[in-house]
Structure 1
């Protein structure tokens, strides 16, 4: 990852938004194994291409997947650098924030 890259709050929010949909999580799980074309993703997930295209667009805009065209097919793969950004964002809370015990609303 480029040390000059500073993620924006919009990119972090887009990443977590993209991770909030079960179908998109299924896509990411499949891409953990290998790069796949849209036709393979549609067949494996049992969804039509228009529905899947919407979800792939969300994942791509969040920077979680990359695409490349080969002939008439588009192939998708994970963009691990963006996962590192989200992981770092969460780990900063653990590392830099003093964790306080949970308080009951009844006991201030």
Structure 2
């Protein structure tokens, strides 16, 4: 029963449109908070709060690259989350061009 509760809690994270969008974007590549702010039009504290919740449920991890913290998906061991994300639309058109990575963070 504990495992079922854990899965239910993780799936609840997907019930929020912003968190679901964050996870869907992370399917394409790692992103930093400031890129999410630009893409989603949500405040930095708001994005950080969503990422904190996703991290606490083991759905994302963070890594420092210079002065920026980047987030990545950690759902390899969660087939029920991977299954949902496989059916999400492709949002790669919302991502900045590769040569402009981090440009949002520099302003």
TM-score norm. by structure 2 comes to 0.66
User: Rg: which structure is higher?
Assistant: 1
Query: Where does structure 2 lack aligned partners over 5 or more consecutive residues?
Result: 84-107
Query: Where does structure 1 lack aligned partners over 5 or more consecutive residues?
Result: 1-6, 89-108
SS at match of 1:47: coil
Q: Which residue of 1 aligns with 2:71?
A: 76
Alpha-carbon distance in 1 for matches of 2:16, 2:55: 14
**Cα distance 1:54–1:82, how it changes in 2: closer, same or farther (>3 A)?**
farther
**Cα distance 1:85–1:69, how it changes in 2: closer, same or farther (>3 A)?**
same
Q: Which residue of 1 aligns with 2:91?
A: none
Q: Which residue of 2 aligns with 1:32?
A: 27
Deviation at residue 66 of structure 1 after TM alignment: 1.0
**Cα distance 1:41–1:18, how it changes in 2: closer, same or farther (>3 A)?**
same
- Whether the 8 Å CA contact 2:76–2:82 is kept in 1: the answer is no
Q: Deviations over 1:58-100 (max 9, x none)?
A: 1111111111112221101111224326569xxxxxxxxxxxx
Count matched residues. Answer: 82
SS at match of 2:38: helix
TM-score norm. by structure 1 comes to 0.65
CA RMSD of aligned residues (A): 2.1
Alpha-carbon distance in 1 for matches of 2:82, 2:39: 28
